[in-house]
Each structure stands twice: as C-alpha cells, then as structure tokens.
C-alpha cells in the first residue's frame, strides 16, 4: 500500500510546471524528475535551469531529487505526476500528443497500486477519456482496481517569482 513513508515520485516533464514541483517534493521525498530531452537533463544535473523558474541554489536545496531520461529510473517510482505541455494547433485545438506519449511511457512501468496524477492543462474529461485508456491498454492494468489516477490543475504562473507553487 502506498504511504508517505514509501512514496517515490516521478515527475514527467521538467518545464515551468514540472521542475518547480519536482524541486519542492525533492526536499522531503525521493523524486525522479523525468524528461525525454537529454540536454535538459544534463543542464539540470549541472545545476542550471535555462527557463529561470528555479535557481541553482533551489536545485541544491532539493537533496532527494534526481534527473533522468532513463525509463528504468522512472520504473522505481510509485506515484507519477504528468506535467507535459499541451500546445494548441493551428485551429486552436489542444494537441494531446505529449500527454498521450507520456501516458504510454508511464504505462511501460506502471505497477499495481501506483497512482498517476495529470497536471497538464486539458479540457474536462481528458483524463478519463484520453489518458486512462492509454494507461490501461499499454500496461494491461485496470483503472481503479490495479492503479489509480487523478487530475490536479496546474498552479504555476510562469515567470512569477512572487506567487510560487509553495504559496499559492
């Protein structure tokens, strides 16, 4: 059973939403910050965030946070937070491709008892209608029986150094 004493968090997508979240959780919990961009991973491992959302000191103050593009590192997690972008297309419709690909990636390592929380900006119903079926199809597990999922609206205002994830 998942408890605060055995939780290991995987934050998928290390942009302006995911990185500050991973840094805060990494102060108290084991966290794998996962991104498919190996250059981004290398920068963060070197203590540099080119988005300027997180300072080098803030990265250092998160001792339980590691960064990886290696799926095997993500496999050790049991609580996943998806923070990938949801861009819009030329017709101003959301492009769920990053979200679907992140769901496929998580499904490869999803285990019984795991939890997946989507924190990407999506329309109502997208978690249940688009993401959870991908998790089920690619993992062979059953939602609300073998694994659990939820949605949390993102609470990040990019570039705002006053209203941060810790105080909003």
Give the tens place of pLDDT for each residue, 2-52.
Answer: 888 899 999 999 998 999 999 999 999 999 999 999 999 999 999 999 988
* CATH 2.40.50.140, domain 8-151, yes or no: no
Q: What percent of the chain has pLDDT over 90?
A: 72
- State mean pLDDT over 83-109: 93
Is 60 exceeded by the pLDDT of residue 167? no
pLDDT interval class at 164 (50, 70, 90): low
Q: What is the pTM of this model?
A: 0.92
How far apart, in whole angstroms, are the C-alpha atoms of residue 156 and residue 137?
A: 31
Q: Give CA separation, 36 vs 39, 76, 150, in Å.
A: 9, 17, 23
pLDDT beyond 80 at 157: no
Structure tokens at 118: 């989507």
Q: What is the rounded CA–CA span in Å between residue 160 and residue 12?
A: 22
Task: Name the residue ranges covered by the structural domains of the chain.
Answer: 8-151
Q: Which residues 6+ apart lie within 8 Å of 130 measured at CB?
A: 96, 99, 100, 122
DSSP symbols for 89-139 = -TTS-B--HHHHHHHHHHHTT--TT-EEEE-S---TTHIIIIIHHHHHHHH
């Amino acid at each position: 059973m998942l408890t605060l004493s055995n939780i290991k968090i995987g934050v998928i997508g290390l942009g302006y939403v995911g990185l500050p979240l991973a840094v805060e959780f990494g102060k108290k919990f084991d966290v794998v910050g996962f991104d498919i961009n190996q250059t981004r991973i290398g920068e963060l491992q070197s203590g540099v965030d080119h988005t300027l959302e997180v300072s080098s000191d803030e990265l250092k103050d998160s001792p339980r946070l590691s960064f990886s593009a290696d799926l095997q590192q993500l496999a050790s997690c049991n609580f996943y937070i998806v923070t990938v972008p949801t861009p819009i297309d030329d017709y101003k419709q959301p492009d769920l491709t990053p979200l679907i690909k992140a769901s496929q990636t998580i499904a490869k390592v999803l285990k019984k008892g795991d939890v997946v929380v989507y924190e990407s900006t999506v329309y109502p119903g997208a978690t249940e209608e688009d993401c959870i079926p991908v998790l089920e199809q690619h993992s062979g597990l059953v939602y609300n029986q073998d694994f659990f999922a939820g949605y949390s609206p993102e609470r990040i205002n990019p570039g705002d150094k006053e209203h941060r994830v810790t105080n909003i």
